[in-house]
Structure 1
Amino acid sequence: MIQPPVIQFERRPGILDLGWGHPRPGLLPVEEWAAAGAEAARTFGWQQLTYGHATGPAPLVDWLCAHLADGTRFAQTFVTGGASHALALVASLLAGPGDVILVDSPTYHLAFRILADTGATLRRMPGSPAELAGLVRTIGRRVPFLYLVPTFGNPTGRSLDDARRRELIEVARREGLLLVEDDTYRELVYEGTAPPSLWELSGGSGVVRLGSFAKTVAPGLRLGWVNAAPDLIGRLAGLGYVDSGGGVNHATAVTMASFGTSGVYDRHVARLRDAYRLQRDALVAAVRAHLPVEVPQGGWFLWVRLPGSFSGTRLLPPAEKAGVSFVPGTRFCVDDGDGDDHVRLSFSHLPPADLTEAATRLGQLIATLPGHE
């Protein structure tokens, strides 16, 4: 009898899959979350299970603003059903057919689909702030915002340096261009501290920040947030389905308030950092035996340049026959053909031994194929 599907991940026997940007199942806080739910029921009683406040329950928003510790205020916060939901809501309010949305490239590939749902055209962000200003002025259509993942980005793991962040904010402010900052990997930092967000550096002016508990707690919560100017928060709260439904994902948001205020969140994230650091190091060491690779300071991914004339798209079928999978770099680029000399490898989903074996299989395959240099 075929069992009905329950989760997104599809396990394929014999394949060590480096393509999934999912948490390792053993790192999900199953017992801690159950305890937080029980504590929320004791603390909030029936209020946990009724309609919620439009912008999110105050206990969660208060804890979140304090936890972010960057000056974010209650009036600048809207609780969402995750970062993808946050992006879809913001994009639906800001963009429409005929507009041009600028995107960093390479960047989070599924954001392309969310943004395309608005009917807008997507174009790659130019390489320098000066070129960005020129494009905005000459593009000939409305450019409502630029989307980017500036901290431990997906797929590259890289972060914009402080000078580039400030220059980008200044150019965007001068050109009247809103920056939509996907900040979902901020807390998964493995050395030092994460760079300041665009949201913080701008003082909340001209930037919309998207956050999520998917990476730090669990994606199944479907819980995240938007930080934005109060007028945009008001527009989000005024959406018909938000008003009708009483906020977004209220019971989970109340439980997250208990998970956060109890101190469990901070202890859990500290454990995650230790575990993902070990997983990152295992994959980096195994890949470096065959190919050069940058060491990301945070996030979940390695962005690996293939040798010689290798194509990530053409490499995938023989790789899967050899028992390893990945995501070709073209998926993360808005322009057709870009990125095919790279692959994204995720170190989040598999334990260290499996990561080592997966990279070994991939490296040995590459060494046997024509075009290897």
Structure 2
Amino acid sequence: MLPVIQYTGAEGVLDLGWGHPDPTLLPVEAWAESTSEAIRAAGWTALTYGYANGPGPLIEWLTVHIGAIDGRAPSPDELFVTAGASQGLELVSTVLTRPGDVVLVDSPTYHLALRILTDRGVELRAAPTDAQGIDPAATARLVGDLRAAGRRVPMLYTVATFNNPSGASMPVPRRRELVDALDGVTIVEDDTYRELAYDGPAPPSLWSLASAGVVRLGSFAKTIAPGLRLGYLSAEAGFVRRLAGRGYVDSGGCVNHTSAMALAQFATTGRYEAHVSALREAYRLRRDALVGALRAAAPGVEFTVPAGGWFLWLGVPDAAAVARRALERGVGMSTGERFHVDGGGTRHLRVSFSMYGPTDLEEAAHRFGGSLKIGADQVRP
């Protein structure tokens, strides 16, 4: 039988290396009801070629919803429905870049975004960072130096809120500095985890703070289900028109029209807000369970408790060696170098608390602790 899903775990292994949702948290019945209702209510219009920017009911809901969860609400002409954040990044980078360009990226950052950007034939450079994230002044100087050397620098990619992999969020003053510092460089902000905030509201997006020059990528992969392949982006109206006018979009209309119509039904009936509220509480409990268990089982391993998202970023002396020992005891982890473009990450592991319940996470932490020789000179980075 041919495979159906992307990931199937190895028997006996609690794999915290994958950022996937727990299947028990996916809203199977609520989504089935919403899909049926949407198709019955809309009839054939739910199954034909859709409006390029996305169906009106979903766009209308998004304008209100984003206004409630972010620093400002977009107008309808600032929104474009995508087949997920990854497809949005693929589409945006296709418009902005050409082979040989330099694209700046946060460091560490989402490893598969690096794959998507590399496919464009660009050179990836890590933006200068400090303890608060990307350093705006140093990044502006780097852009100036690159341009003086004859290089194009059309975009910067960052996960500024609940970063994947580190879980960190850029402080608001730094966000304001960054959007003001870069002239002629489009900031592409991956805002996938905004609604998974556990200790209070997420900070305003870079997009909401900027008058221009920021494209914000949103996704329903984490708040509903990744299999929907649904997301959206918010950007200047002129940029959205460029996306909607591309031949590939013109050829098929909305990139995921039928699912977008079902999502509009899921959202406007109140199912979305109820589901995300429950999801937020479930993930908060999982985060706290893993944090508490790691502190007990591996007290020498350093990390910062994230205020949202799915990940902890563990400091270890030799990530590859520690990950091998952990896997021998039945715990999978992602080594940090895959989240860097500059050779960094050798002293960090990314672990996710999204795919398992509290009991399994506590067991994973216990196994991980058992794989370490506890001692300050051996587990501290």
Question: So what's the TM-score if we normalise by structure 2?
Answer: 0.93
Counterpart pick for 1:88 among 90, 95, 103: 90
**Alpha-carbon distance in structure 1 between the residues aligned to 2:329 and 2:270:** 44
Moved over 3 A (4+): 368-373
Q: What is residue 29 of structure 1 aligned with on the other side?
A: 27
Residues 169-192 of structure 1 show CA distances to partners (whole Å, capped at 9, x for unaligned) of: 1102xx222111000000000011
Counterpart pick for 2:203 among 195, 200, 214: 195
**Alpha-carbon distance in structure 2 between the residues aligned to 1:130 and 1:78:** 31
Q: Tell me, yes or no, if structure 1 residue 163 matches structure 2 residue 173.
A: yes
Per-residue deviation at 1:239?
A: 1.5
Q: Which amino acid aligns with 2:205?
A: S
Per-residue deviation at 1:371?
A: 3.5
Q: Which amino acid aligns with 2:170?
A: L
Secondary structure of the corresponding residue to residue 309 of structure 2: coil
**Alpha-carbon distance in structure 2 between the residues aligned to 1:372 and 1:154:** 23
**Alpha-carbon distance in structure 2 between the residues aligned to 1:252 and 1:148:** 28
* Contact 1:213 1:224 (8 Å CA) reproduced: yes
* Contact 1:77 1:227 (8 Å CA) reproduced: yes
Q: Tell me, yes or no, if structure 1 residue 48 matches structure 2 residue 46.
A: yes
**Mapping for residues 307-346 of structure 1, pairs under 5 Å:** 310-336=317-343, 338-346=344-352
Q: Which amino acid aligns with 1:359?
A: A
Secondary structure of the corresponding residue to residue 146 of structure 1: strand
Secondary structure of the corresponding residue to residue 371 of structure 1: helix
Q: What is residue 207 of structure 1 aligned with on the other side?
A: 214
Per-residue deviation at 1:85?
A: 0.1
**Alpha-carbon distance in structure 1 between the residues aligned to 2:349 and 2:175:** 26
Counterpart pick for 1:282 among 259, 266, 289: 289
Q: Tell me, yes or no, if structure 1 residue 362 matches structure 2 residue 362.
A: no
**Mapping for residues 227-246 of structure 1, pairs under 5 Å:** 227-246=234-253
**Alpha-carbon distance in structure 2 between the residues aligned to 1:129 and 1:66:** 31
Q: What is residue 182 of structure 1 aligned with on the other side?
A: 190
Q: What is residue 146 of structure 1 aligned with on the other side?
A: 156
Q: Which amino acid aligns with 1:327?
A: S
Secondary structure of the corresponding residue to residue 367 of structure 1: coil
Q: Tell me, yes or no, if structure 1 residue 294 matches structure 2 residue 304.
A: yes
Query: Please, which runs of 5 or more residues in structure 2 have no aligned partner?
Result: 130-134
Q: What is residue 251 of structure 1 aligned with on the other side?
A: 258
Q: Tell me, yes or no, if structure 1 residue 7 matches structure 2 residue 5.
A: yes
Counterpart pick for 2:358 among 336, 352, 357: 352
**Alpha-carbon distance in structure 1 between the residues aligned to 2:169 and 2:249:** 34
Q: Which amino acid aligns with 2:194?
A: R
Secondary structure of the corresponding residue to residue 41 of structure 2: helix
Per-residue deviation at 1:207?
A: 0.5
Q: What is residue 57 of structure 2 aligned with on the other side?
A: 59
**Alpha-carbon distance in structure 2 between the residues aligned to 1:162 and 1:229:** 21
**Alpha-carbon distance in structure 1 between the residues aligned to 2:310 and 2:28:** 21
**Alpha-carbon distance in structure 2 between the residues aligned to 1:154 and 1:372:** 23
**Alpha-carbon distance in structure 1 between the residues aligned to 2:254 and 2:35:** 19
Residues 171-220 of structure 1 show CA distances to partners (whole Å, capped at 9, x for unaligned) of: 02xx22211100000000001111000111114x1100000000000000
Q: What is residue 17 of structure 2 aligned with on the other side?
A: 19
Residues 139-198 of structure 1 show CA distances to partners (whole Å, capped at 9, x for unaligned) of: 1211001100000010011100011000101102xx222111000000000011110001
* Number of residue-to-residue matches in the alignment: 364
Residues 282-326 of structure 1 show CA distances to partners (whole Å, capped at 9, x for unaligned) of: 1101111212321100000000101xxx31122222221111010
In 2 relative to 1, CA 135–372 (structure 1 residues): closer, same or farther, beyond 3 Å? closer
Q: Which amino acid aligns with 1:156?
A: S
* Contact 1:287 1:293 (8 Å CA) reproduced: no
Q: Tell me, yes or no, if structure 1 residue 111 matches structure 2 residue 110.
A: no
**Alpha-carbon distance in structure 2 between the residues aligned to 1:90 and 1:41:** 30
Secondary structure of the corresponding residue to residue 373 of structure 2: helix
Q: What is residue 305 of structure 1 aligned with on the other side?
A: 315
Per-residue deviation at 1:75?
A: 0.5
**Alpha-carbon distance in structure 1 between the residues aligned to 2:153 and 2:159:** 18
Residues 240-279 of structure 1 show CA distances to partners (whole Å, capped at 9, x for unaligned) of: 1211112201000000000011111000000001100000
Q: Which amino acid aligns with 1:134?
A: R
Per-residue deviation at 1:368?
A: 6.5
* Contact 1:284 1:293 (8 Å CA) reproduced: no
Per-residue deviation at 1:42?
A: 2.1
Counterpart pick for 2:138 among 127, 131, 136: 131
Q: Which amino acid aligns with 1:344?
A: R
More moved, 248-257 vs 291-300: 291-300
Q: Which amino acid aligns with 1:303?
A: W
